[in-house]
Amino acid sequence: MDALVTTEWLANELGANDLRVVDATYVLASDGRDPAAEYEAAHIPGAVFFDIGEISDLTNPLPTMLPPPEKFASRMQSLGLGDGSRIVIYDNSPYRTAARAWWMLRIFGAHDVAVLDGGFAKWQAEGRPVESGKPQHRHRHFTVWADDSQVRTLDQMKANVDSGAEQVLDARSGPRFTGEEPDPRPATHAGHIPGSKNLPYKQLFNDDGTWKTGDALKAEFEKAGVDLSKPLVTTCGSGITAAVLLFGAHLLGNEAALYDGSWSEWGADMSTPKATGSA
């Protein structure tokens, strides 16, 4: 299974014994939406709801941080996602949150995982079937495991400012990156991690909401000043849209890491250096 699959491919595979479909729509409280209620009203047949806000470390004051491996495995088992499953993730979010769920699943040991190109919007636009309600799931075994090689911590990012060993790429908008626009979080500086580059995540998509691929996708990274043959770490406001850049890099053969605390942590920490202006 490719990392990016089409609606046509998924429609043909629906009902396969080993296939699991996941709705990973996540939005901000300020968006005034309820993704869980939207999922119950309409979802791809057989899909389960992956609650990114709840499947996180709720003891951490930072938003949507990775949960402990035991919690993640428990939640996946209760959703019927287990070892040996082929998992296709979609979303209906402006933040393209399927990429975050894709990254999380891979961190915690699931490897046959894909993102649905165009998401739920494309599926619906094509008149494909949907269902409502909350399906019952048979628990499946999900092995407790975590590989943190694709996760970066505050201390690692501080060390990287000095060493420059890894390129850092920020998914936030240009004005947020440069500091022209204040950060929406209280007591959080504006600006970016010194030495980082900026590639607003929306630039990785075509006008119809599908992913750019091949040379068109590669061009976006190159315009941002990124060398995809070298190590890369992605960052954003809270670790959500950073996963979009990470997934895009994966499509081009670069296995990037993600700074999970992102600007929520760096921007509020008094000990970190902050830069403003363009990269």
SS3 string, the chain, reads CCCEECHHHHHHHCCCCCEEEEECCCCCHHHCCCHHHHHHHCECCCCEECCCCCCCCCCCCCCCCCCCHHHHHHHHHHCCCCCCCEEEEECCCCCCCHHHHHHHHHHCCCCCEEEECCHHHHHHHCCCCCECCCCCCCCCCCCCCCCHHHEECHHHHHHHHHHCCCEEEECCCHHHHHCCCCCCCCCCCCCECCCCEECCHHHHECCCCCECCHHHHHHHHHHCCCCCCCCEEEECCCCCCHHHHHHHHHHCCCCCEEECCHHHHHCCCCCCCCECCCC
> Who contacts 19 (Cβ-Cβ below 8 Å, separation ≥6)?
13, 85, 86, 88
Ramachandran bin of 96, using left for φ above 0, alpha for ψ from -120 to 50, beta for the remaining angles: left
CA 17 to chain centre: 26
For the domain 149-266, what is the CATH code?
3.40.250.10
> Who contacts 9 (Cβ-Cβ below 8 Å, separation ≥6)?
none
Q: Is 3.40.250.10 the CATH classification of the domain at 4-146?
A: yes
Max CA separation in the chain (angstroms): 53
Candidates 169, 5, 236, 214; CA nearest to 98 is 5
* pTM across the whole model: 0.98
- Tens digits of pLDDT across the chain (279 residues): 999 999 999 999 999 999 999 999 999 999 999 999 999 999 999 999 999 999 999 999 999 999 999 999 999 999 999 999 999 999 999 999 999 999 999 999 998 999 999 999 999 999 999 999 988 888 899 999 999 999 999 999 999 999 999 999 999 999 999 999 998 888 899 999 999 999 999 999 999 999 999 999 999 999 999 999 999 999 999 999 999 999 999 999 999 999 999 999 999 999 999 999 987
Is residue 236 part of the annotated active site? The answer reads yes
pLDDT in tens, 182-220: 988 888 999 999 999 999 999 999 999 999 999 999 999
pLDDT confidence of residue 255: 97
pLDDT confidence of residue 215: 98
CATH 3.40.250.10 maps onto the chain at 4-146, 149-266
Catalytic residue (choose from 151, 193, 232, 236): 236
Torsion over CA of 249, 222, 180 and 152, rounded to 10 degrees? 30
CB atoms within 10 A of CB 170: 29
pLDDT confidence of residue 100: 98
* Mean pLDDT, the chain, integer: 96
pLDDT confidence of residue 136: 83
pLDDT confidence of residue 135: 84
pLDDT confidence of residue 220: 98
